[in-house]
Each structure stands twice: as C-alpha cells, then as structure tokens.
Amino acid sequence: MAVSLDQLQAFVAAAEAGSFSGAARALRKAQSAVSAQVANLETDLGLALFSRAGRNPVLTPAGERLLLEARVVLDRREHLIGVASSLEQGVENRLVVAIDELYPEHALGALFASFAQRFPFVELELLFPLMEDVSRMVQSGAADLGVMWRQEELPTELGFQTIGWVPLKLVCGRDHPLAKARVEWEELKRHRQILVAARGDGAEKRRLRVAAEVWWVESHWVILEMVKHGIGWAFVTDHVIAASLTAPYLVTPDLQFDQGDWPIALELVWHKQRPCGPAATWLRERFAAERVGGLPVEGWPR
C-alpha cells in the first residue's frame, strides 16, 4: 500500500471544498489530476472515501474517519518542515530555563505565550529551583538561562543582568506572639523563623537568617502553611501571599524598626562561555524588558 502526501492533500482539499473542481482551484491543479489522486488513494486503501451518486462528492463513513487522520499527517508534515527551517536558521532545538519562585508567576504566562508564537518549534523545559540552586544549574549546563534573586557571590563564569525587584514581607499567623504588639528587631530573634532552603549549603541559604531557631523549608507555599499554624514567622513575597489560600490567616506585624518590606533584586544569569542562540537571546531581552517591580529606595546590597 503506497499512500502519498499529494494523494492525502487532494483528499483533504476535496472534502473541504465539497467538490473536485473546488479542490483543483485551491491546489492550483487540473481537476482531472485531483480526481485521479483521490481515486488512486481509494484504490490503495481499498475503501471508498466519497460517494459520487449526486452532483458533488459526499464523504462516506470511512472517508469521514480517515479525513481526521489525513489532516494529522499533513499537519505533521508542515511541522517537520517548520522544525527543519528553524534548525537551518540556527534556532535552538531545546531550552531549559530555571526560575526561582520569587519571580511572579503571573508574569510568566504572557511572556512564554509570546515565546511560543515566536519560536513554535523550540522544546522548552521550565524548572523552579530555589536561590543559588539556579546559578548552580546554569553553571553546570543543566539550564541555559536562570532567573534568581541576587546572589552576593556569583560564580565568575556567569553573566548577569538585573531584571527587577520584588518586596519581601515579614508575616506571621494571626495568633502568633508577634501579631499581638509592636515588634522590635530583637523580638524577632526570640521566635522561630521559617526560611526557604536551597538544596546546597551555601552562604545564600543563611542570608536572611535573623532568629536563633530556624526551620528550613524547600517551598514558599509550605512555609505559608506553617506560618498560618503559628509554627514561626517568615519573609515571603507579595505575589506568593496573594495567590495562597492562607492569606486571610496571615498578618504583617507592626514593626518598630521598619515599614515591613525588604526589596530583593531579581537577576537573569547565563554562562559566559556558552553563546546564546536566537531563542535564548530573545528570552534574555524579553525578561529584561518586563522589569518586574520598581527600583527600591534602599535594600540589601550585593
């Protein structure tokens, strides 16, 4: 059984046009050529695809079923051609992007929708490690690009660009002792702090440590659940709090020493020795253009 793409194209065109003459016009071929291709396809398949009893051909039950398959085959042909063209232009076949949860997830949908339109044939993998785990992945080659909070000691082989700022809020549960009165800095040290934890044990892991007693948790969302139940207090971003069902059970203590927001810089990182292709370059430019948050008046320095 030899079925050609031209036969399938003639079959689909005839079904969509409702006539062989209409299919011929759509394909810019002679009507006799289109009719012959459909007839040969029917012979090869051993099935009648059209009933020719009336003035115009009408799909048979078998034709209706096989029309769906023919469209899939033709669609995959176009996809194959698109992938080949993309590779010919030097576009990456695959990209891995590691993004810290500090980056607002609501900004990712529109960004990657635009990416999908611009680079429809690039396979994309999005990973969500935490803190310095992002830079480790880019450094090792496990990720092509990374978005992370500003790391005080970034590996020298990585390039970086600041792409915005996100504020951290100090929160506790409604029944926590810190929620009862105006809080001094020393008071924070007396209560358990719940900190987000990377897989490694670098300096970044301890950067926000204030309290003597600390629990390390590898999820902002689980941290909020623990804070809700009064286990401790934590620094968490606005967008994570807003998206969590725990938000009604959280409070920001009345702080004597500050207004309660600490700005953290977000940076895009890449490996200097691995040139970015067109897709990675587009992402770098788009992340930079998004400019999450605003510039803080003051914050923790690099």
- Domain residue ranges in the chain: 3-87, 92-158+273-287, 162-261
Q: Which residue has the higher pLDDT, 291 or 232?
A: 232
Is pLDDT above 70 for 300? no
Mean pLDDT, rounded, for 89-100? 88
The identity of residue 36, as a single letter, is: A
Lowest mean pLDDT among 12-26, 82-96, 112-126, 162-176: 82-96
Q: What is the CATH number of domain 3-87?
A: 1.10.10.10
User: What CA–CA distances, in Å, run from 38 to 25, 34, 237?
Assistant: 15, 6, 62
**SS3 state at 299:** coil
Q: Distance between CA 83 and CA 78 in Å, rounded?
A: 9
| 187-207 confidence digits (pLDDT tens) | 899 999 999 887 776 666 777
What is the per-residue pLDDT for 299?
Answer: 41
CA 194, 196, 197, 198: dihedral to nearest 10 degrees? -170
Please name the residue that has the structure tokens 């012959």: 36
Which CATH superfamily does the domain covering 92-158+273-287 fall into?
Answer: Periplasmic binding protein-like II (3.40.190.10)
Name the token pair of 251: 């409070």
Predicted local confidence at residue 117, as pLDDT: 93
> Which H/E stretch holds residue 250?
strand 250-251
What is the Cα–Cα distance from 33 to 24, expressed in whole angstroms? 8
CA–CA dist 14, 35 (Å, integer): 9
Q: Cα(142)–Cα(48) distance, rounded to whole angstroms?
A: 53
Percent of the chain with pLDDT over 90: 55
Fold match flag (3-87 vs 162-261): no
Amino acid letter for position 96: V
Nearest alpha-carbon partner for 205 in 167, 153, 252, 168: 153
The pTM of the full predicted model, rounded to 2 decimals, is: 0.68
How many Å apart are CA 188 and CA 192, to the nearest integer? 8
- In the CATH scheme, what is the code of domain 162-261? 3.40.190.290
Q: Does the pLDDT at position 88 exceed 80?
A: no
- Considering all CA atoms of the chain, what is the largest pairwise distance in Å, rounded to the nearest integer? 91
Question: Cα–Cα distance between 149 and 164 in angstroms, integer?
Answer: 10
